[in-house]
Amino acid sequence: GSERTELGRMDGGDRAALIAGEIQSILGEVERDVAHYARLTIAGRLLALAMERFREKSQGPILKKASEVFYRITCGSFEGLRADHDPDGNPVLVGVRKQGRETVSVEGMSDGTADQLYLSLRLAGLEHYLDLNEPMPFIVDDILIKFDNARASAALQALAELSKRTQVIFFTHHGHLVELAAQSLPESILIEHHLNGK
């Protein structure tokens, strides 16, 4: 009886052949989908690499100049700046360290370094403006508060270089910055005016 039952279970007619055919059809679809996915993934990666090469090659003069100034006023702590993308694919600006192998987002920078990034962008933007337009005064008010002495000195030197192209007016109520400017800058560039404290 058990043999007849087992034989009855095996006798499914063409049902087994239909299931085997469905399995083969599904396997064929999966293979096509995997091949299509692989092609799309490779094409996406190649497109991203081509875009990165184009961005590096076509890097604008402002970003290039800002990168040089940022390197200088961070005293080499950062090698420069680079346009990048966040995890959502939005363009962002990042600081570059260690021969381009490490990047730091603006959110990951200290307040002082973020201020140095902003100053670098402003100086680069102004220099670009001066390349195309008449000079105009550049007025800044206590922009070095969060800078240590080395970076403040480097920033003052960058402002002194800019003063060769346009007038730079630097306001501060911090006496140590005036002393630092006197130590860092040539006498021919620095003109001090002390306002009466009335």
Q: How does pLDDT run across 22-59, given as a tens digit for each residue?
A: 888 888 889 989 989 999 999 888 887 887 776 666 55
**Which tokens sit at 91?**
């363009």
- pLDDT score, position 198: 46
Distances (CA, A) of 151 to 10, 47, 109, 195: 85, 39, 15, 26
Q: How does pLDDT run across 72-108, given as a tens digit for each residue?
A: 999 988 998 988 878 887 778 889 987 767 888 888 8
- pLDDT score, position 179: 87
Q: What residue type is 81 in one-letter code? A: L
> Which pTM value belongs to this model?
0.65
Contact 145, 116 (CB under 8 A): no
Opening angle at CA 40, ends 37 and 42, nearest 5? 105
**Could you tell me how far CA 132 lies from the centroid of its own chain?**
26
Contact 105, 94 (CB under 8 A): yes
The predicted model gives 142-154 an average pLDDT of 90
Q: How far apart are the C-alpha atoms of 115 and 118, rounded to whole Å?
A: 5
- In the chain, count of helices (H) and strands (E)? 6, 5
